[in-house]
Structure 1
Amino acid sequence: MSSSTSTRPAITTPAEDAFCSIERTLGIVGERWTFLILRESLTNGATRFDEFIDTLGIAPNILTARLKKLVESGVLEKREYRAEGSRPRMSYHPTEAGKQLLVVLGALGQWGDDYIPPARGVTQTRETSQDHKRLRVGFVEDPSVLKDVDEIEFVNTPAHPRYEAA
């Protein structure tokens, strides 16, 4: 993971003229529903409109607006699919830029686990996908030891509403 941005595609944001990277990022992902859509996409594999509706209980018009913004911003991409006997529909898949938001989701989840844990217990852990070692999000000095987002998974614990024992 290089710190150079020259090889990364440009992302469009409503706040693209802002000097602050945090402000520009919040122009894309700074709404509650957007983070929840990303959580479902990145940690639970949701790709279809009805999956987001069923899982989140989000109003269809809000979901439509948030998905549109994420696609236009280069965080998700649309792909056509067709269920047997149905008309073509679109599914939504994380781009490389979208996958990198796992770090942000991991940091938010970690902060919540540490400072406002749910009464039933933590609902997801962050682990390496290969050997299931627990991970913490933090600042690092040597980027050569970073785990790629493809090597990380969010694992539902028994306290999670959709817990499935492995």
Structure 2
Amino acid sequence: MPTTTLATDPVDDDRAERCSVARSVELLGERWSLLLVREALRGATTYSQFRERLGVPSDVLSARLRTLTEAGVLEKVPYRPDGERERSRYELTEQGRALKLVLAALAQWGDENRPTPFGRASYPADVETGEELELVFVDRTGAAVPIDRVRIVPGPAARTGWDSL
């Protein structure tokens, strides 16, 4: 019977390179990274805005902004406030904006599995109608598929011995 092999072992570069989750966690799994993306999605663009909103230590903030910029999640854009020196702001790239789906899924999971007595901090809504949205799997026809009918299957990059999740 094949054994389940997940590409999470940092020593095995081949497995990590092949696994989308491992590659994503490598970039986004550091503390503060997804929170920086969340704040960028909420409109933060400057170093001081990120610092004020998150209270992240300066050295860590600089390192995470650099990492996210080098990875193409953020773009560093120069600007000059009136009468001041040139500064940089950080704008989400297309790759960064695509993380809205990931953050919404994490928030939905947290609301369902790690609720607080205060209720939800946020939820996705349609910008045109204001209607609340829920993240679900859909098939090619657009029909919702219950989570217990979904499995993650090996793709072309999967190594032999990998079972479905």
Is the 8 Å Cα contact of residues 78 and 88 (structure 2) preserved in structure 1?
yes
Aligned residues: 131
> Is the 8 Å Cα contact of residues 15 and 23 (structure 1) preserved in structure 2?
no
Give the C-alpha shift of residue 57 in structure 1.
Answer: 0.1
Larger Rg: 2
Q: CA RMSD in A?
A: 2.1
Give unpaired runs (5+ residues) of structure 1: 1-13, 146-166
Distance 1:143 1:41, change over 3 A: farther
Indicate yes or no: 2:41 matched with 1:46.
Answer: no
CA displacement at 1:50 relative to structure 2: 0.0
Equivalent in the alignment of 2:100: 102
User: What is the alpha-carbon distance in structure 2 between the residues aligned to residue 15 and residue 69 of structure 1?
Assistant: 22
2:36 aligned residue = 37
TM-score, structure 1 normalization: 0.73
If asked which structure has higher relative contact order (CA below 8 Å, sep 6+), I would say 2
Q: Describe the SS at the equivalent of 2:125.
A: strand
On the 8 A contact 2:16/2:22 being kept in 1, the answer is no
Q: Structure 1: which amino acid aligns with 2:51? A: I
The counterpart of 1:89, out of the listed 72, 79, 87, is 87
Q: Distance in 2 between the 1:53 and 1:139 partners?
A: 35
* Structure 1 CA distance for aligned equivalents of residues 123 and 14 of structure 2: 33
> Tell me, which stretches of 5 or more residues in structure 2 are unaligned?
1-12, 144-165
Alignment partners' CA distance in 1, 2:20 and 2:36: 22
Larger mean Cα displacement after TM superposition, 46-55 or 26-35: 26-35
Q: Distance in 2 between matches of 1:90 and 1:16?
A: 37
The TM-score normalised by the length of structure 2 is: 0.74
Moved over 4 A (4+): 14-17
- Structure 1 residue 77, shift from structure 2 partner: 0.4
CA distance in 1, matches of 2:49, 2:65: 13
1:1-166 superposed matches below 5 A:
18-42=17-41, 44-142=42-140
1:16 & 1:47 partners in 2: Cα distance? 35
Q: Which residue matches 1:149? A: none
In structure 1, distance between residues paired with 2:39 and 2:103? 11
